[in-house]
Chains A and B, each alone.
Chain A
Amino acid sequence: MGATVKFDDLTERCGEWLRGSGPEADIVMSSRIRLARNLADFPFIRRCTLADRQAIVKNFQQRIFKDGGLQQAGIDKYLVIDVDKLERVDRQFLVERQLISRELAESEGATCVALNETETFSVMVNEEDHLRLQVMHSGLDLHNAWERINRIDDFLESRLSYAFDDRLGYLTACPTNVGTGMRVSVMLHLPALVLTKQLEKVFRALQKISLAVRGLYGEGSQASGHFYQISNQITLGRSEEELIDQVAEVVPMLIEYERKARQFLVKESQKDLHDRVSRAYALLCGAQTISSEETMDLLSSVRMGINLGLIHDLEIPVVNKLFIHTQPAHLQKIRGAALDRADRNIERAVYLRQHLRQDGEGNKN
């Protein structure tokens, strides 16, 4: 196996997509593309027996993952994890890092994920479809993400027989994904549009052109931390490039709206804004116990404050990392023990104090 990465190594690190670089990274957290693919000779997952699911995993292990097979697709170091054998907290940990979906975390029997060292690529086996490939880059970087995932898909296709129909394209378990099987999403940080109450108007306009809006953790999740994912709804009848362009064209407009809303706040209520940002920072640095929701909310204000030059001694990658590392499973992994809600809130406050003070004192590691 090409695995020189260990599962536990992930805990202290953070995914490259959080590094806060790439175009428009002050507002665009990440760009993600996923492809849904199925094997031609197995039923879709809901109709699979356990033996089928095991055979599918074995298939991928032997044809793709073993002996560093993915290196031929440009994935140098990677790790293959049997998700069904993981403890609940470890599964949740992978969900929080956006490496697997909640659906995969909750399913039982022969599921796995392969992910690369920088966590910019992952492939889930036996989720809703046999394969769900994902490439995630920092900032607004859809075209590079597409180039990369397309290459990986080409490699897989050379070794597997995908379920494909000449007229309908890639066949998927759910008809909403058929055709390209592609979901293009861009995660945006839109605190000023929330504060100025303009978000709903913007989203209604997006839905009219069949783009979907979701929260930080995808379908059905709340938009915590004022993060919103914009993605395509349609997968059939348009080429991959057209789908990417549709999202790529709308994002600069959203960025501009957000920037304008920020400028408006700076101009019209500079004092209130500065106060909000400073209080948020002070609370995060001084709290003794704090919930995940409050943390996300405060971090959002701090993140905007850094971008507006109201906070000088903290950097965006640190804040990006804190959004993920203060999630429940992360705190438990970092602490190395199971913690109930109350203990997590205390642990979260400790973690925040440590990391914010450390970085606040001149960005020493």
Chain B
Amino acid sequence: MKCQHCEKPATFHITEITGSEEEREVQEVHLCEGCFREYINQPEEPVEPNASLLGALAQQFKIGKTAEKLAKLDAQTCPMCGISFQEFRQIGRLGCPHDYEAFGAELEPLLLNIHGATEHKGKRPKRNASRRQSELLRLRREMQEAIEKEDYERASELRDEIRKIEAET
């Protein structure tokens, strides 16, 4: 067997156990002597803001989650823009402002990991956008879907509703 980090033969076989009490994750690690020395001399990772988003995402969702739980998480979608959590996890970009609320529980630890904080400190706009504006997002998407299904009656209802909100804001 070859070392996982280089091409030399692996002489050290380690069983790594991570995760919480209830959900143990067991991983086999095979290393050569040189890489093993490096491995055991690694200091415990300090909790530092993580620069790489995808790295942080992978780290957060790999640890302490069963496949079943992960699949359930991935299937969640945002009611406004329709993006699934899985899509976000894969591309690292959110679908709309409302995702921060829709995926709030999952994003919170991620933000803590990246920024070391979860609350904004700094500039605020003098006026806030009304909540109805994120409704616009959903309505436009539904209108698009209605057009694709050739349900023009529904599409025109939605268009009227969109115009009404646009006029208000």
Taking residues whose C-beta sits less than 8 angstroms from the other chain, chain A's interface range is 35 or more
CA distance A174 to B91 in the complex (A): 10
Task: Count residues of B near A (Cβ-Cβ below 8 Å).
Answer: 45
B64 in the interface (beta carbon within 8 A): no
Residue B81, interface by CB 8 Å: yes
Q: Roughly how many angstroms separate A164 CA and B129 CA in the complex, as a whole number?
A: 7
Q: Is the interface of A mostly helix, strand, loop or mixed?
A: loop
Give the residues from 114 to 142 in chain B that come closer than 8 angstroms, CB to CB, to chain A. Answer: 114-130, 133-134, 136-137, 140-141
A35's closest neighbor in chain B, by CB?
A: B123
**Residue B169 CB within 8 A of the other chain:** yes
Report A-chain residues with C-beta under 8 Å of the C-beta of B126: 154, 157-158
With A164-B129, A169-B120, A174-B92 as contacts: A40 and B97 at CB distance below 8 Å: yes
Partner of A46, one of B95, B110, B141, B144: B95
Is the CB–CB distance between A212 and B51 below 8 Å? yes
Closest residue of B by beta carbon distance from A150: B123
Given A128-B93, A158-B126, A161-B169, A174 and B49 contact (CB-CB distance below 8 Å): no
A326 interfacial by beta-carbon distance below 8 Å: no
Overall SS of chain B's interface: loop
Query: Which of B82, B101, B115 is the one whose CB lies under 8 Å from A236?
Result: B115
CB contact list, B69-125 vs A, under 8 A:
80-83, 91-97, 100-101, 107, 110-111, 114-125
Spot the interface stretch: A21-29, A175-183, A273-281, A339-347: A175-183
Query: Would you call A186 an interface residue if the criterion is a C-beta within 8 Å of the partner chain's C-beta atoms?
Result: no
Given contacts A41-B133, A41-B134, A42-B137, is CB(A175)–CB(B123) below 8 Å? no
A76 within 8 Å of B (CB atoms): no
A241 CB to nearest B CB, Å = 8
In contact, A44 and B95 (Cβ under 8 angstroms):
yes
Q: Tell me whether A162 is interfacial, beta carbon within 8 Å.
A: yes
Q: Which of B101, B116, B123 has the most CB of A within 10 A?
A: B123
Say which residue of A40, A179, A234 sits within 8 Å of B134 (CB atoms).
A40
Question: Does B45 make an interface contact (CB < 8 A)?
Answer: no
Taken together as a complex, chains A and B put the C-alpha atoms of A241 and B124 apart, in Å, by: 13
Inter-chain contact B81/A164, CB cutoff 8 Å: no
Report whether A46 and B91 are in contact in the complex, using a CB–CB cutoff of 8 Å.
yes
Docked Cα-Cα span, A128 to B118, in Å, equals 22
* With A47-B83, A162-B129, A175-B114: A238-B94 Cβ-Cβ less than 8 Å: no
Residues of A within 8 A of B137 (CB): 41-43
Please indicate which of the listed interface residues B93, B124, B125 has the most CB atoms of chain A within 10 Å of its own CB: B125
Which residue of chain A has the shortest Cβ distance to B138 in the bound complex? A43
Do B53 and A174 touch across chains, with their CB atoms under 8 A apart?
yes
Name A's B-contacting residues (CB within 8 A): 38, 40-47, 49, 52, 128, 150, 153-154, 157-158, 161-171, 173-176, 178-180, 182, 207, 210, 212, 233-242
| Subset of 12 A-B contacts with CB under 8 Å | A47-B81, A163-B97, A169-B122, A170-B120, A175-B53, A175-B107, A178-B115, A233-B51, A236-B114, A237-B115, A237-B116, A237-B119
With A234-B115, A240-B122 already in contact, 4 other A-B pairs whose C-beta atoms are closer than 8 Å: A41-B169, A169-B120, A178-B115, A180-B122
